[in-house]
């Protein structure tokens, strides 16, 4: 896997690609292919979250666990699916909270690239997954890489909003650099199993915009 990455992220993370753990990630992906397994997302989309949102543009970070593992769903952005793919249940609930919080009518699509282009980094902790097998790549080294992203981004920048949904994402809050003015918002996961425990009503979208405006930063247009 040749790493092709947006320049600002390449500068921030360049040393990681020479680390032993990253060689193991590459090896695992080669093995999966050799065994006839399908891996999502497609190779050119593995780093899509970083490619669409340069380091100096990040305003909000939303952390997911791993890519969707059904055909055609994963395209490199947490919670997002390509145009033409039905929004999955967690995203349906995100749209419901958007409507409750900001009055935004849920769109018919599930593509969140518009958020990315405005500075919302939709980062999965694991950047790949084997088809039909959730969390199948959670132990191959990706989390070392994505934890490094959170640590270095939060040290490099100031006044970013981190939206951490569910215990997995909330456990990442200790990676966020202190004394850099970041806002950490936590809530239950938007999954149908947990959304009613406090994701609905968390108002993270309006809280994020209020915070950004208080820092003189252009707020996010949350209409996907």
User: Cα 76 to chain center, whole Å?
Assistant: 8
Instruction: Give Cα separations from 188 to 67, 144, 191 (angstroms).
Output: 19, 24, 8
- Look up residue 58 and give its two tokens: 């990040």
- Of 15, 51, 56, 66, the active-site residue reads 66
Give the C-alpha separation, 133 to 129, whole Å. Answer: 7
Q: Using DSSP, state whether 87 is helix, strand or coil.
A: coil
Element holding 94 (H helix, E strand) = helix 89-102
E-only strand ranges, 23-137: 39-40, 60-64, 120-124, 129-130
Known catalytic membership, residue 66: yes
Q: Point out the residues that are catalytic.
A: 66
């Amino acid at each position: 896997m040749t790493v092709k990455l947006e320049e600002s992220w390449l500068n921030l993370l360049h040393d990681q690609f020479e680390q032993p753990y990253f060689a193991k990630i590459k090896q695992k992906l080669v093995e999966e292919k050799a065994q006839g397994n399908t891996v999502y997302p497609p190779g050119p989309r593995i780093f899509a979250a970083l490619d669409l949102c340069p380091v100096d543009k990040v305003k909000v970070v939303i952390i997911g666990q791993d890519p969707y593992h059904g055909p055609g769903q994963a395209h490199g952005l947490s919670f997002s699916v390509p145009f033409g793919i039905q929004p999955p249940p967690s995203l349906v609930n995100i749209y419901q909270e958007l409507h409750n919080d900001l009055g935004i009518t849920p769109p018919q699509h599930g593509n969140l690239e518009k958020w990315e282009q405005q500075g919302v980094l939709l980062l999965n902790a694991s950047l790949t997954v084997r088809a039909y097998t959730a969390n199948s790549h959670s132990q191959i080294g990706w989390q070392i890489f994505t934890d490094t992203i959170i640590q270095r981004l939060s040290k490099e920048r100031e006044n970013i909003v981190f939206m951490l949904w569910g215990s997995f994402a909330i456990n990442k809050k200790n990676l966020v650099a202190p004394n850099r003015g970041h806002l950490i918002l936590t809530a239950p996961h938007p999954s149908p199993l947990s959304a009613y425990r406090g994701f609905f009503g968390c108002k993270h979208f309006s809280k994020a915009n209020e915070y950004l405006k208080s820092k003189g930063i252009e707020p996010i247009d949350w209409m996907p």
